[in-house]
Amino acid sequence: MTESEKKSFKSGFVVLVGRSNVGKSTLLNTLVGTKIAATSFRAQMTRNEIHGVMNMPGTDLHPGGQAIFIDTPGVFKDKKNPLTAKLTNKVKTILEQEIDVVIYVVDPSREVGDEERASFGMIRHLNIPKILVINKSDLPKNEKEHLPEYESWAKDFDACFQLSAINASHIQPLREKVIELLPEGEQLYTDGQLTNIDNYFWMAEIIREKIFSVFEKEVPYSMAVEVDNVEDKPDVMVISARILTNEERYKKIIIGRGGLKIKEIGKMARRELEQAINKKIYLELEVEVDPHWVERI
């Protein structure tokens, strides 16, 4: 890198904020180009601060840059749930850190209500550039019934993009805008380093994602996954993990009749992990009742 290139290089932290289920984690994965964060049609998938790094080489027209996207738990209105309080606090803590740009994500198929206003309220006072992303542009027109209302919000933002995170359409203009809005600075994550999460956490998240996908509704949010051990043998990787839940009845549901459900979860998780690691995997899954798992999140 020459001195002048170094000077104009941009870098910084870009936080993704919005209600639960609007597609923040999907967008993070698409922006980075690798699946880092687990996603789900169920609310409250994301529970931790997850970083995804995007490196953009410089061109004749634009300086290069590095954006570190920070995925946050979705804002969710369900006061009775102790998990919700914990997750809301996590978003607040993330927003108190040094961040350079906010991407506020909305879903045009969902109406603007108290939850949306509370969510916007968390970022509106921030004195940094803000981008509005109206996601899920792939949905049919009649499902995006609240689009005009969200479009009218654009005036409160420095830029607004309509895109589809899941189809990766119209993503490049957003990437360029992010780099444009970042301050000049040096590379923060080293080459090849794409995230802050470790392998154990990432594996646990894949397993949790599969639990959400196997159960439509009956399984509670009250569930966590912990990977206890990973043994990387020459021909197979042995992963031991525990699914933790609050109550005995949920344990029964997760295991399923004759162990059918847990087998299905294991099969789906194994398939994805094998593909990502490119190695045969043996996955040992247990279900345990642990009423205190929320406290450890």
Ligand X SMILES: Nc1nc2c(ncn2[C@@H]2O[C@H](COP(=O)(O)OP(=O)(O)OP(=O)(O)O)[C@@H](O)[C@H]2O)c(=O)[nH]1
Binding residues vs ligand X (CB under 6 A): 18, 20-26, 39-41, 43-46, 73-74, 135-136, 138-139, 164-166
Q: Does 38 bind Mg ion (CB under 5 A)?
A: no
Q: Does 25 bind Mg ion (CB under 5 A)?
A: yes
Burial class (CB in 10 A: 0-12, 13-18, 19+), 257: exposed
Would you say 132 or 255 has its CB closer to ligand X?
132
Q: Rg of the Cα trace of the chain?
A: 20
Q: Does 46 bind Mg ion (CB under 5 A)?
A: yes
Cβ-closest position to ligand X = 74
Report the residue from 22, 31, 45, 273 that binds Mg ion according to the rule CB under 5 A.
45
Task: State both tokens at 160.
Answer: 């607004």
Give the one entry of Mg ion, ligand X, none that residue 122 binds, where binding means its C-beta sits below a cut-off of 5 to 8 angstroms depending on kind. Answer: none
Please count the CA atoms within 13 angstroms of the CA of 24 that sit on its side-chain side.
Answer: 32
Q: Does 178 bind Mg ion (CB under 5 A)?
A: no
Closest distance of CB 1 from ligand X, Å: 34
Closest distance of CB 116 from Mg ion, Å: 16
CA 297 to chain CA mean position, Å:
16
Q: Total number of residues binding Mg ion (CB under 5 A)?
A: 4
Give the one entry of Mg ion, ligand X, none that residue 119 binds, where binding means its C-beta sits below a cut-off of 5 to 8 angstroms depending on kind. Answer: none
Give the one entry of ligand X, Mg ion, none that residue 61 binds, where binding means its C-beta sits below a cut-off of 5 to 8 angstroms depending on kind. Answer: none
Closest distance of CB 117 from ligand X, Å: 17
Would you say 46 or 245 has its CB closer to Mg ion?
46
Three state DSSP letters for 150-218: HHHHHHHCCEEEECECCCCECCHHHHHHHHHHCCECCCCCCCCCCECCCHHHHHHHHHHHHHHHHCCCC
Would you say 15 or 237 has its CB closer to ligand X?
15
Length of the chain: 297
Would you say 106 or 283 has its CB closer to Mg ion?
106
Closest distance of CB 47 from ligand X, Å: 8
Closest distance of CB 71 from ligand X, Å: 7
Paired with 54 in beta bridges are 67
CA 255 – CA 262 distance, rounded (Å): 5
Would you say 138 or 284 has its CB closer to ligand X?
138
Q: Does 103 bind Mg ion (CB under 5 A)?
A: no
Closest distance of CB 10 from ligand X, Å: 25
Sign of CA dihedral 31, 172, 23, 126: positive
Would you say 53 or 281 has its CB closer to ligand X?
53
Would you say 144 or 251 has its CB closer to ligand X?
144
Residues that bind Mg ion in the complex, under the rule CB under 5 A = 24-25, 45-46
